[in-house]
Amino acid sequence: MTKTYTHFINGEHFTGSSNRFGDVYNPTLGKVSAQVPFANQDDVDKALAAAEAAFPAWAATSVLQRSRIMARYTQLLYEHQPELAELVSSEHGKVFEDAMGSVLRGIEVAEFASGIPQLQKGEFSDGVSGGIDLYSMRKPLGVCVGITPFNFPAMIPLWMACMAIACGNTVVIKPSEKDPGCPLRLAELFVEAGGPKGVFNVINGDKEAVDVLLTDERVKAVSFVGSTPIAKEVYKTATAHGKRCQAMGGAKNHMLILPDADLEDVANALMGAAYGSAGERCMAISVGVCVGDEVADKLVELLKPRVKALKIGPSHERGLEMGPLVTREHREKVMNYIQMGVEEGADLVVDGRNFTLPGYENGFFLGGSLFDNVKPHMRSYQEEIFGPVLQLVRVKTFEEGLALATEHPYGNGTSIFTRNGAAARTYADKVEVGMVGINVPIPVPLAFYSFGGWKQSAFGDHNQYGQEAVRFYTKVKTVTARWSEKTLATDFSIPTLK
C-alpha cells in the first residue's frame, strides 16, 4: 500500500490544504512508493508562522541549553543512523553503505553544532579608552529557510538545520519532492531530543512553495543546494527581497594525474569518486586529466575492466558499489549526455546504457560509462552530467592541466594525484576551485571547516557549515560601553577614543 507523507509544522504532522500531490518512487523497483503533498501559499504561511512564533523564545534560550539539545539530537541521530540510511536508499537509490556514510557526514555537523557556546562567542576589548570597553556579540537572524536537493536527503538538511538552529534561529526546510522521507524523520527526532515545537519545520512542495519562501518578508536567510541555473535564480530572487542567501550550484570536478602518480591508486580512487552514488554527487570526479598519452593509455587499461565489472544492484542489498539513479527522467538525461559525447567525437570506451538488472528491469539502473579523448570544447565536457560517467582528457603538461580546471565555468572541487610535493602545492595554490584534494579524490571538508565552491558553483559570501555557517546564520552587534565616575563633557565632534 502506498503511504502518504505530510508536512511537519510546529511539531506536528500536517497534510496541507492544496490537494496536490507528487509521486515518490523506489528507484530500485521503478514503482511509486509514496505520495507527497505539494504545499500552497496557505500551507507555507502556516510553516512560516510557526517558525516566526517560536523564534523569540528559542533565540532567548541560553547557548548552553541549545548546546545540550543539539548534543541529545546528535546522539539520537547516531542511534537512528541505519534507519535514516534505509530511507535514503529506498527513495534516492544509494546503496546502503554509501547512504550510511552520507548520513554520518550530516551527523558530524550536528556534533560540531553542539559546540555552539565556543563557536558563537563574540569579542571583547577592555579599556580601549578611559573607562570604555568595546565588545561584540553574534545574534540570530530569525526564520531561516533551507532548500535541499535530491542527492543527499539526510546530509544537506542536517548541514543547514543544525547550524541555523544552534545559532538561535528557527528553520523551515523544503526538501526535494523526490525523496522527502528522511528530512521529515530528522524533524521528528529533533522534537524527540527536546527541541521546542516550531523550531524545526519541514514543508514539501514544488516551485509554488519555493516562490513563497524566497519572497516572504518573515524569511531572513535562504540556503540552497541544487543545479547552477536554479541556484542563480534563487540567489537573485532571495537577495532582491532583502534576504541573506547562499546558493550552491553544479560542478565539473577534475582530477589532475601526473606521470609520477601511482596509477593503481589513481584507478582505485577514480572508481569510487566517479561511480560512487551513481555519480549523483556535486563532488564526484567526472573528469580525469592525464598528463601524457602514456598515463592515459595505462589508466584506460586499468579502468576499462573495473568499470565493466561494477557491482550494481538493488539499493537495499549489502556489499554493492552502485545502485539505481534517482528517477527515470534523470536516467534519460544522463543517457542523452552519453550520446552527445559520442556524437561530439569522444571515444566511448565503456557504454553503460544497455545495462539491465535481472528481476529489476523497471528500476532506474544505468551501468558505468567511460570516455577517452574528450576535448575541452565539447558540450558534454562543459556541462554537468551528474551520473556514472567518467571523461578522460589528455594534456601534455602540468600547466595545461592546471589551466583546464581553472578555466572551466564550474569551480566546486578538484584533486591532484602525484608524488611531487612542489607540484601539489602549486596546484593547490593556483587552481581556481573552492575545494582541493592532494592524493584525496573527494575533498569534502570535515564539519569544523566548511564546504563551498567558486565561480558558477556557488553564489553568496559564505560557505556551508563550519565557522562560515556561524557567520551566515548570525549578525554582529557591537557595543561601546562607558563606565566612569567622571562627568561626560559636551562634544559635537565625532567621538574618538583616547
Q: Given this model, what pLDDT does residue 497 score?
A: 59
Q: Please, where in the chain does CATH 3.40.309.10 lie?
A: 253-438
Q: Given this model, what pLDDT does residue 178 score?
A: 97
Q: Please, where in the chain does CATH 3.40.605.10 lie?
A: 3-249+457-479
Q: Of 22-26, 316-320, 345-349, 486-490, give the lowest mean pLDDT range.
A: 486-490
Q: Given this model, what pLDDT does residue 498 score?
A: 58
Q: Of 257-266, 276-285, 412-421, 480-489, give the lowest mean pLDDT range.
A: 480-489
pLDDT reading at 1 higher than 70: no
CB 467 within 8 A of CB 450: yes
Mean pLDDT of 125-145: 94
**Which sign does the torsion angle of CA 369, 370, 376, 378 carry?**
negative
CA-nearest of 350, 248, 338, 250 to 299 is: 350
**CATH homologous superfamily for 3-249+457-479?**
Aldehyde Dehydrogenase; Chain A, domain 1 (3.40.605.10)
Q: Given this model, what pLDDT does residue 131 score?
A: 87
pLDDT reading at 490 higher than 70: yes
- For 253-438, give the CATH class: alpha beta
Q: Given this model, what pLDDT does residue 52 score?
A: 98
| pTM reported for the whole predicted model | 0.95
pLDDT reading at 489 higher than 80: no
Mean pLDDT of 220-236: 97
Mean pLDDT of 415-434: 98
pLDDT reading at 298 higher than 90: yes
Q: Given this model, what pLDDT does residue 493 score?
A: 74
Q: What is the pLDDT of residues 343-353, one digit of tens each?
A: 999 999 999 99
Active-site amino acid positions: 282
pLDDT reading at 488 higher than 80: no
Q: Given this model, what pLDDT does residue 129 score?
A: 87
> pLDDT band at 495, cuts 50/70/90?
low
Query: Which cell numbers hold the place of 387?
Result: 551520473
Q: What is the pLDDT of residues 177-223, one digit of tens each?
A: 999 999 999 999 999 999 999 999 999 999 999 999 999 999 999 99
The percent of residues above 90 in pLDDT, for the chain, comes to: 96
The percent of residues above 70 in pLDDT, for the chain, comes to: 98
Query: Max Cα separation, the chain?
Result: 88
pLDDT reading at 491 higher than 90: no
3-state SS string for the chain: CCEECCEEECCEEECCCCCCEEEEEECCCCEEEEEEECCCHHHHHHHHHHHHHHHHHHHHCCHHHHHHHHHHHHHHHHHCHHHHHHHHHHHHCCCHHHHHHHHHHHHHHHHHHCCHHHHCCCCEEEEEECCEEEEEEEEECCEEEEECCCCCCCHHHHHHHHHHHHCCCEEEEECCCCCCHHHHHHHHHHHHCCCCCCCEEECCCCHHHHHHHHHCCCEEEEEEECCHHHHHHHHHHHHHCCCEEEEECCCCEEEEECCCCCHHHHHHHHHHHHHHHHHCCCCCEEEEEEECHHHHHHHHHHHHHHHHCCCECCCCCCCCCECCCCCHHHHHHHHHHHHHHHHHCCEEEECCCCCCCCCCCCCCCCCCEEEECCCCCCHHHHCCCCCCEEEEEEECCHHHHHHHHHHCCEECEEEEECCCHHHHHHHHHHCCCCEEEECCCCCCCCCCCCECCEECCEECCCCECHHHHHHHCEEEEEEEEECCCCCCCCCCCCCCCC
pLDDT reading at 485 higher than 90: no
